[in-house]
Structures are given as C-alpha cells and as structure tokens.
Amino acid sequence: MRNYLFLCILLIQTFLIRAQSNEIFVDNLEHTYHLDNKTTEESILLLKTKENTVVSYYDAQHQIKKSFAINNHDSSFKNLIAYSFDKGVAQLFWSTSAKKTLFIQSINLETQEITEKEETYNSKGLLLLTEFSNDSSYFIINLRKNTNVIVIHEFKNDGTFQEYPIDLSNEKFYTLTPTKPFNLQNILSKTTSEDLIPNKIQFIDQKQSTALSLATKLKKAYLKEDQLIITFDFNTNFTDILTIDLDRKSYEKKIVTKPKIAYSSKTSSNSFIHDDFIYQVKA
C-alpha cells in the first residue's frame, strides 16, 4: 500500500514538473516505470509518451532532484527486464519480446548524458524462479527447462551483463517421503495449497516486513550479502537449504532438522530465516 500511495504522489508531482526553470508537461502517457534504490531510498520515475520519456529523479524524502526528457529508444525493446542505479547513474536493461537481445541504456541523472549499447541475450528455454537486487547488481534466477541447472543473469551497476550456470544434477531434495528424493526440477515444480505456482520461489526482502501469506510459502529465497539462500520445506522433519555464493559462483547444500513431534497425516511444518537464525515451526 505504501509503494502504491508513493507512486500516486510521484505521478501527480510529475505531471507538472519544473526542470532547470522549464516546465515539462506529460501528455499521451503510454507506460510508467517506478525504479527504487533500496539502499539509498532514492527513486526514479519514467513516464513514456509517444514523443519522449520524462525521467524524474527523487531523493529519499521523495523530493525531485532532477527532471528532464529524453528521446525514446527503439520501440522493439519493450520489456524493462532489469535495472539498477547507483551514484546518480541509472542502468536500464531492455529486451525484445523474443528476448534475444539486450538494449542497455545508461543515464547520468546529474549531467543527463546517455550512452546506449546492445548485447546478445537469450532467455529461451528458461523458467523464471525469482529476482532481486543488491547494492551492485540486479539478479534474475532461472531454471533451464528439463534440467537441474540454475542459470543466473546478473545485471551490474556499471551496465555490464553476465550469465552463469549452477549445475545441481547431483543434489537431492525431499518431500514427505524420505525414501523417494526429488531432483531440483521436480521439487521446484511441486505445488501445494501454500505454493500454487510451479517453478516459483518467493523472495523474502528482509529489509521490509513480510506478509504472512508470503512467509508461509514452502519455497523461499533470502539474500545475505553475496549469498542467495533458498529453502525448501516440503518435508516435515527437516529443511533443505541451498546456498549460492553469487560472487564465487559456487553452492552448498545442507539439511537442518526440525523439532520432533508425533507424526500424523495432518502434521505441517515450515521455516523462516531472519538475520543469522533459522526459525522452524512444526504442528
């Protein structure tokens, strides 16, 4: 609700903006993009019209620092798949509908200087698992279809893009039947009343409060510095934990045992990570 209200305020403010003593009027609005820097709490609002795009740069108090209009880029790059901005420079990563090419747009919010380039990008055959950002990059975590390989796409603050795979073919994950372990693609495709969408990992942003509807998911991901921690709670006796080091491009798999109680068909369990602790519940 807070983000929604803030976006409404930004929209109202931006329809009449004074930038460098000139008024910018926004008409024939086609698309709106709201970009956050969660570390500095600064934000950017992009208002795209048929003629141009208005870029509005806000500080942590939601006051306009800069606002200016830029020319629209090639209309075939419609999808803003990732972004980052740091030290007054925004990096926007656009793709076509076919997702075979990246159009990278670098905008200096102070000088209004813009640089653009294209790079090969192919997401064909990938299933989106989750996405998130840290201080230096925006990450999209995918599963290569019909394999047990996680493919990580990293979009950096310097405007560069990197792709690297994590092969988990030798790892096993468990549900209610310990004698029948699952491979990665099977555990990710599993659905329950808590996890209705297959191949979806709920990312938990620990800098914000977490709704109960999200905390009860059985597939969750957390970010701690350069480590992505993924938990699976389909087994009532323990939590499967997969930790991916985003810097070293390596991983570690371990199991944490849950409290022991008398088992019944109605037994359920889950876990939640906060700071350096894992909290497990079983009932």
Per-residue three-class SS string for the chain: CHHHHHHHHHHHHHCEEEECCEEEECCCEEEEEEEECCCCCCEEEEEEECCEEEEEEECCCCCEEEEEEEECCCCCCCEEEEEEEECCEEEEEEECCCCCEEEEEEEECCCCCEEEEEEECCCCCEEEEEEEECCCEEEEEEEECCCCEEEEEEEECCCCEEEEEEECCCCCECCCCCCCCECHHHHHHCCCCCCCCCCCCEEECCCCCCCHHHHCCCEEEEEECCEEEEEECCCCCEEEEEEEECCCCEEEEEEEECCCCCCCCCCCEEEEEECCEEEEEEC
pLDDT over 50 at 225, yes or no:
yes
The pLDDT confidence band at residue 221, using thresholds 50, 70 and 90, is very high
User: In the prediction, which pLDDT does 6 show?
Assistant: 53
Strands 202-204, 161-167: pairing kind: unpaired
Percent of the chain at pLDDT above 90? Answer: 59
End-to-end CA distance of the chain: 32
pLDDT over 70 at 177, yes or no:
no
pLDDT digits (tens, 9 = 90+) for 138-165: 999 999 999 999 999 999 989 999 999 9
User: In the prediction, which pLDDT does 188 show?
Assistant: 96
Query: What are the tokens at 59?
Result: 């500080």
What does pLDDT average to over the chain?
87
pLDDT digits (tens, 9 = 90+) for 62-113: 899 999 999 998 888 989 999 988 888 999 999 988 778 899 999 999 999 9
Q: Which residues pair with 83 in a beta bridge?
A: 92
pLDDT, average across residues 229-250: 95
Only one residue has tokens 């209200």, namely: 5
- Cα 197 from Cα 199, distance rounded (Å): 7
User: pTM above the 0.95 mark?
Assistant: no
Only one residue has tokens 């048929």, namely: 50
User: In the prediction, which pLDDT does 14 show?
Assistant: 47
Query: What are the tokens at 74?
Result: 């090639």
Percent of the chain at pLDDT above 70? Answer: 88
Q: Give yes or no for a contact between 249 and 204, defined as CB atoms under 8 angstroms apart.
A: no
